[in-house]
Amino acid sequence: MSARYFGAAVNRLEDPKLVSGAGRYVDDLHPAGLLHVAFVRSQRAHGLVRGVDAGAAARMAGVVAVFTMADFADLASGPMPPLAPHPLIKTPITYWPLAATEVRHVGEAIAMVVADSRHAAEDAAAAVEVDIEPLPVAADAIAALAADAPRAHSDRDSNLAARLAAKFGDADAVFAGADHVVAETIVTHRGGCHAMECRGVVAVPDAMGEDLTVYTSSQSPFLVRRILAAYLGRDERHVRVVAPDVGGGFGPKANVYPEEFAVALAALKLGRPVKWIEDRQEHFLTTTQQRDQIWTVEVAFTAEGRMLGLRGRGVHDNGAYAPYGLILPINALGCFPGPYALEALDVTLDVALTNMVPTSPVRGASRPIVAFVLERMADRVAAHLGLPREEVRRRSFVRADQMPYETGGKARDGSPISYDSGDYRQALDLALSKIDVAGFPARREAALRRGKLLGLGMASCVEDTGLGPFEGATVRVTPAGKVVIATGASSQGQGHRTVFAQIAADALGVDINDVIVDAADTDKFPLGISTIASRIAVTAGSSVEMAAQKVRAKALRFASNRLEAGEQDLEIVDGAIQVKGVPGMSITLAEVSRALAGAAGMSTPYGMEPDLAATAYFESQGLTFAYGSNACEVEIDPDTGDARVVRYVVVHDCGRLINPQIVDGQIIGGVVHGIGNALFERMLHDPEGQPLTTTYADYLLPIATEMPRIEVHHIETPSPRNPLGVKGAGEGGTIPAAACVISAIQDALGPAAPFVAHHPISPQDIVAMLD
């Protein structure tokens, strides 16, 4: 197999369309007869729904219908099925499509107006009168776990949704025998995610009247189908879900939302296409959020700085519902012990229900939180011993000669966590070398002369990627000679079209522009899991490779018969199978496709199965583990507390690179995400659960002018666990970034400053610490 495209920095095939405004996002869909929705939402964080008066609204111009949940009684009722059931959650903690009895966070939808236009719908929604009887509010995760705390759900006995634990080794013995122990409480505050595109859904009843198509800005079209079909009591075959172009996912769009169900119900009820597009205010109020974990941990370590064990407890703010089960807290536990070869681990995590928007995975999905905990503690150990921070890491890392390395932890399915390959120390040493750690004292001096405090930060991480069980792909050569890849894996901008095309074009000897990707349409591929957990290159990418190789073999077999040449004497060049060294002895893939498509009364050529196509599912052979180390410099203005990241170096190993340009884009975007988390993004609520930061004037996002140039360097250690040798790359930029920035701030503040134990850290925080 030639590798004309694999490994090359091919320009993204999707970009000409996307950057010229020709993308087809949900809001670009205008099926004939379309109606528009505005939701009537709760203004209270907790209360009983006593009544909805839609009389005035229903009479307003352009209004077609005003629905509450009761109006859908002939179609469905009750809470939505859980996306990821967990045995610890006995009764699902899920939304209803429209809240019928109790609202549990500000913004929860109670009624919907369907009208000829969005503005008519919004005007009428404002005229719907909702009577809510207030209930006491659980607005803080720690307080919510107190015995006398108000219940987030009036029908539940406790706000403790679950207590989870991860444990290996004999922690008591390790701690008893350790030279030193340090303890800290570390907090990551709640934030949003803020994809460029808000959510949206268009539901279209099929012309045949039996099927419903739901276009949704989702990372999980197959999960939407699964639970929507279950909710409607229909077979999955009657529900088609399509994720068209999606402008960023990052995790929250992996959930299934009540609006998707409500819009589907309205379309079925009215027999017409119905659209809802989330506005940015709704996004602040209703799209799932992240972080908000509080960890109290202690680390045992040797006098030489080798970390031996970690134990502690965390509290996870789950928000009001658990549509995604316990994935996020389970992930947190799975991230220990990170890149460190600990002898013992003993951590528990309490999952607290509160009257706030649910939290769910956001890029990294608890991994940045745990990396923050581990890296803060590594710095703490170094400070305790007066050692360089890198020395504690070097002495504690899993070594390259220990690979594959079983940490002692367990993956989500109960299998042992086993790091596949890599050299963690090499990554850290390279990062420190690239940032020129030796020159840092001089740069710090120079900054000080300008009245600024310069700090050097570092952080390492290891990240499980390529989550199972599978993705699949069908590769087909059309009669026109195009190569069409159908896969369940949806894209939210990652560049799937390009990387899948690189893989298939190499396998089939075609121009990359002749490869088309049909993704995220449940009618075009039968099964899919979700675009989450940095898993698509591993699972779907490998499926594309496997299916394309099957198609290649089939085409060569046909050509071998037709051209009367041995398969070993054939090659595929520019879409034509030719006999090597015999110009003109060739047949195009298009011709093979047409021959195999059949014509009435003709024979099947060479007894071959029709259809120049093949399907393959790559089934996970265990997780693949990307890793890396970051280093950065942060400059602090001691007068204002302003912290500015001035240099940033990433060393990352995600195995073989399919497309370095795309991987670099992922890494750089991920670092920006992490810097935003470290310095800016925080979602605040008052004690009544009212969100206080619901515009970009109050909630700060990182912007380009505040970002340094980010240098990315790769180590390529192929994973032995898939045919491409790849590991996931979508989240690795974010995971250590906040830890790295805070490490640099701590360093800038100097040894007299208190331990920096939370993020985001504000200028006010910094000024206070310098006092």
**Binding residue (CB under 8 A) for a copy of itself from 69, 300, 349, 532:** 532
The reply on whether position 116 binds a copy of itself by CB under 8 A is no
- Please name which of 17, 1, 97 lies closest in space to residue 498, comparing C-alpha atoms: 17
- Rounded-to-integer distance, Cα 539 and Cα 561, Å: 34
What would the x/- binding string for a copy of itself be over residues 69 to 88, using CB under 8 A? ---------------x----
Q: Which helix (H) or strand (E) holds 411?
A: none
**256 phi and psi, to 5 degrees?**
-110, 135
- The stretch among 69-77, 345-353, 381-389, 614-622 that binds a copy of itself (CB under 8 A) is 614-622
**439 phi and psi, to 5 degrees?**
-85, -5
Q: Using CA of residue 293, residue 298, residue 304, residue 306, what is the dihedral sign?
A: negative
**300 phi and psi, to 5 degrees?**
-100, 140
- The stretch among 163-171, 339-347, 591-599, 745-753 that binds a copy of itself (CB under 8 A) is 591-599
Q: Cβ closer to a copy of itself: 606 or 696?
A: 606
Kindly state the smallest distance separating residue 479's Cβ from a copy of itself, in Å: 6
- Rounded-to-integer distance, Cα 247 and Cα 197, Å: 5
Q: Cβ closer to a copy of itself: 179 or 206?
A: 206
Collapsing DSSP to helix, strand or coil, 419 comes out as strand
- The stretch among 226-234, 300-308, 422-430, 742-750 that binds a copy of itself (CB under 8 A) is 226-234
The reply on whether position 671 binds a copy of itself by CB under 8 A is no
Kindly state the smallest distance separating residue 358's Cβ from a copy of itself, in Å: 17
- Rounded-to-integer distance, Cα 347 and Cα 338, Å: 14
List binders of a copy of itself among 138-167 (CB under 8 A).
none
**Binding residue (CB under 8 A) for a copy of itself from 67, 397, 617, 699:** 617
Kindly state the smallest distance separating residue 464's Cβ from a copy of itself, in Å: 10
Instruction: Label residue 82 left, alpha or beta by phi (over 0 means left) and psi (-120 to 50 means alpha).
Output: beta
The reply on whether position 304 binds a copy of itself by CB under 8 A is no
Kindly state the smallest distance separating residue 673's Cβ from a copy of itself, in Å: 22
- The stretch among 294-302, 416-424, 611-619, 661-669 that binds a copy of itself (CB under 8 A) is 611-619
- Rounded-to-integer distance, Cα 355 and Cα 7, Å: 48
- Rounded-to-integer distance, Cα 163 and Cα 343, Å: 23
- The stretch among 143-151, 605-613, 665-673, 738-746 that binds a copy of itself (CB under 8 A) is 605-613
The reply on whether position 607 binds a copy of itself by CB under 8 A is yes
List binders of a copy of itself among 252-281 (CB under 8 A).
271-273
The reply on whether position 208 binds a copy of itself by CB under 8 A is yes
List binders of a copy of itself among 478-517 (CB under 8 A).
478-480, 482, 484, 516
The reply on whether position 360 binds a copy of itself by CB under 8 A is no
Angle at alpha carbon of residue 77, lines to 73 and 81, rounded to 5°: 155
Q: Cβ closer to a copy of itself: 230 or 715?
A: 230
Kindly state the smallest distance separating residue 111's Cβ from a copy of itself, in Å: 23
**Binding residue (CB under 8 A) for a copy of itself from 401, 413, 564, 771:** 413
Per-residue three-class SS string for 90-112: CCCCCCCCCCCCEECCCCCEEEE
- Please name which of 761, 766, 711 lies closest in space to residue 738, comparing C-alpha atoms: 761
The reply on whether position 771 binds a copy of itself by CB under 8 A is no
List binders of a copy of itself among 316-355 (CB under 8 A).
327
Distances (CA, A) of 425 to 213, 398, 440: 50, 8, 20
Kindly state the smallest distance separating residue 270's Cβ from a copy of itself, in Å: 9
- The stretch among 94-102, 392-400, 470-478, 645-653 that binds a copy of itself (CB under 8 A) is 470-478
* CB hemisphere CA count around 254 (13 angstroms): 23
**Binding residue (CB under 8 A) for a copy of itself from 279, 518, 706, 711:** 518
**Binding residue (CB under 8 A) for a copy of itself from 6, 470, 558, 648:** 470
- DSSP 3-state percent helix, strand, coil across the chain (nearest 5): 30, 25, 40
**164 phi and psi, to 5 degrees?**
-115, 155
Q: Which helix (H) or strand (E) holds 448?
A: helix 440-449
Q: Does residue 120 contact residue 62 with C-beta atoms inside 8 Å?
A: yes
- The stretch among 26-34, 185-193, 313-321, 494-502 that binds a copy of itself (CB under 8 A) is 26-34
Kindly state the smallest distance separating residue 357's Cβ from a copy of itself, in Å: 22
Amino acid identity at 385: L
**Binding residue (CB under 8 A) for a copy of itself from 111, 529, 547, 712:** 529
- The stretch among 178-186, 599-607, 639-647, 700-708 that binds a copy of itself (CB under 8 A) is 599-607
How many C-beta atoms lie closer than 10 Å to residue 304's C-beta?
A: 12
Label the pairing between strands 570-573 and 515-519.
Answer: unpaired
Angle at alpha carbon of residue 572, lines to 568 and 577, rounded to 5°: 85
How many C-beta atoms lie closer than 10 Å to residue 78's C-beta?
A: 12
**Binding residue (CB under 8 A) for a copy of itself from 603, 697, 704, 751:** 603
Distances (CA, A) of 530 to 243, 270, 489, 523, 620: 11, 30, 6, 16, 14
Kindly state the smallest distance separating residue 380's Cβ from a copy of itself, in Å: 32
The reply on whether position 33 binds a copy of itself by CB under 8 A is yes
The reply on whether position 172 binds a copy of itself by CB under 8 A is no
- The stretch among 183-191, 292-300, 406-414, 560-568 that binds a copy of itself (CB under 8 A) is 406-414
Q: Does residue 596 contact residue 477 with C-beta atoms inside 8 Å?
A: no
- Please name which of 240, 223, 266 lies closest in space to residue 529, comparing C-alpha atoms: 223
Q: What is the four-CA torsion angle of 258, 264, 270, 275, rounded to 10 degrees?
A: 80
Q: Cβ closer to a copy of itself: 138 or 623?
A: 623
- Please name which of 155, 174, 158, 257 lies closest in space to residue 216, comparing C-alpha atoms: 257
Kindly state the smallest distance separating residue 606's Cβ from a copy of itself, in Å: 11
**Interface contacts to a copy of itself, rule CB under 8 A:** 24, 28-34, 84, 202, 204, 207-210, 213, 215, 226, 229-230, 235-237, 242, 244, 271-273, 327, 411-413, 415, 467-470, 472, 476, 478-480, 482, 484, 516, 518, 523-524, 526-527, 529-530, 532-533, 597-604, 607, 609-611, 613, 617, 619-620
